[in-house]
Amino acid sequence: MTHVETRHAIHPDHARAMDTATLRRHFLVEGLFAAGEIRLTYTHYDRFVVGGAVPEGAALVLDQIAETRTPSFLDRREMGIVNIGAPGRVEAAGQGWDMGTGDVLYLGMGAGAVTFSGQGRFYITSAPAHRALPHRLVTVEEAKKVEMGAVETSNKRTIKQFIHPLVMESCQLVLGYTTLEDGSVWNTIPSHVHDRRMEAYLYHGMAPEARVLHLMGEPQETRHLFVANEQAVLSPPWSIHSGAGIGGYTFIWAMAGDNVDYTDMDFIQPGDLR
């Protein structure tokens, strides 16, 4: 019912020499969502975890996994859950939350076993925590919305911030998602890095035949991944993360590291990329 894969951290010098298959093996996360299963990828980038839970009307329980060596997964962790599917329900710490499409649930450290049910497709993110904070459901309506970009630069988009200092408190997890408007294809322009935090992207809401060209790597040694619907990309602190897609798409961004300052970015203008 629960499957866990481990990804080790990669030095930028190593990444420069990788061929396409090796880049995909280390940085692309495929097959996160499987009916009746919880699938997790445990990374050595700030011990960040991404995963998917698809209960399909039954109940799936996330509790103990060998990789953390704790009695329960959330004993020393916090979690952010995004429902990218139909309505579903999450239960933990003697409480329950009904989640609509696009809603985000924050579970603080010590929440215990987490039960997923209903018809939701739950995207899971988790990072180590140093103190217990209140659990909170943040609905789409409660998110802070920021409009960015322009039609002229093909990157007009809406950013919705959920687990974010302007909305709620967390230990180190920061999470939200960005949706491109019709006719816009570019996300995260200009590109940036933030050496204080790692980041993970989950692309979804795409047609089966569509792809996003995700740019990664050092600013002067860029690489790329072609990413399909419901696939995730791990972005080390030294890597840029930008992309352009075929048709509409949404990407969920989640970060962990030394601070929760969403604006702490080192920008790289297009003319400086190689």
Q: 91 - beta bridge partners? A: 96, 115
pLDDT of residue 226: 98
Q: 99 - beta bridge partners? A: 88
**3 annotated binding-site participant:** no
**164 annotated binding-site participant:** no
pLDDT of residue 227: 98
**199 annotated binding-site participant:** yes
The Cα–Cα gap between 108 and 137 comes to: 11
| Averaged pLDDT of the chain | 97
The number of C-alpha atoms within 13 Å of 136 and in the hemisphere containing its C-beta is 15
The Cα–Cα gap between 66 and 68 comes to: 6
Q: Is 217 left (phi over 0), alpha (psi -120 to 50) or beta?
A: left
Q: pLDDT exceeding 90 applies to what percent of the chain?
A: 97
Instruction: Identify the residue whose tokens are 């309505």.
Output: 87
Count other C-beta atoms under 10 Å from residue 243's C-beta.
25
Say how far residue 266 (Cα) sits from the centre of its chain.
20
**130 annotated binding-site participant:** no
* The model scores a pTM over 0.95: yes
DSSP class per residue in 168-222? ---SS-EEEEEEEPTT--EESSSEEE-TTEEEEEEEES--TT--EEEEEEETTEE
* Averaged pLDDT, 35-63: 97
Instruction: Identify the residue whose tokens are 């970015």.
Output: 265
Chain segment 93-149, per-residue pLDDT in tens: 999 999 999 999 999 999 999 999 999 999 999 999 999 999 999 999 999 999 999
